[in-house]
Amino acid sequence: MALAPGNDADLVVLDLAATPLLSWRIPFCESIEDVLAVLMMLGDDRLVAATYAGGRLVHRR
């Protein structure tokens, strides 16, 4: 599988600066594990910038 033109995909685009607290905290992350932990602890529905289903945009904030 590949993310390429012509392929279908279900994706969620996250806004790492969705809240002031996230904007402040994310730059201190040193690994993807740190970023994921911060998103799990501090993220909420404002984190989702866009959602694609079957390769088509179905939601945009």
SS in 3 state form for the chain?
Answer: CCCCCCCCCCEEEECCCCCHHHHHHHHHCCCHHHHHHHHHHHCCHHHEEEEEECCEEEEEC
Q: Tell me if 43 is assigned to some domain.
A: yes
Which tokens sit at 48? Answer: 């989702």
> Is 37 within the bounds of a domain?
yes
Query: Is 4 a domain residue?
Result: no
Decide if pLDDT at 1 tops 70: no
Rg (CA), the chain: 14
Reported as a pLDDT band with limits 50, 70 and 90, residue 58 is very high
Domain count, the chain: 1
Residue 47 lies in a domain: yes
Instruction: Give domain status of residue 26, yes or no.
Output: yes
Read off the pTM. Answer: 0.77
The residues near 3 (Cβ < 8 Å, ≥ 6 apart) are: 9
2-56 pLDDT, tens digit each: 778 877 889 999 999 999 999 999 999 999 999 999 999 999 999 999 999 988 8
- Flag whether 3 is in a domain: no
Domain that holds residue 25: 11-60
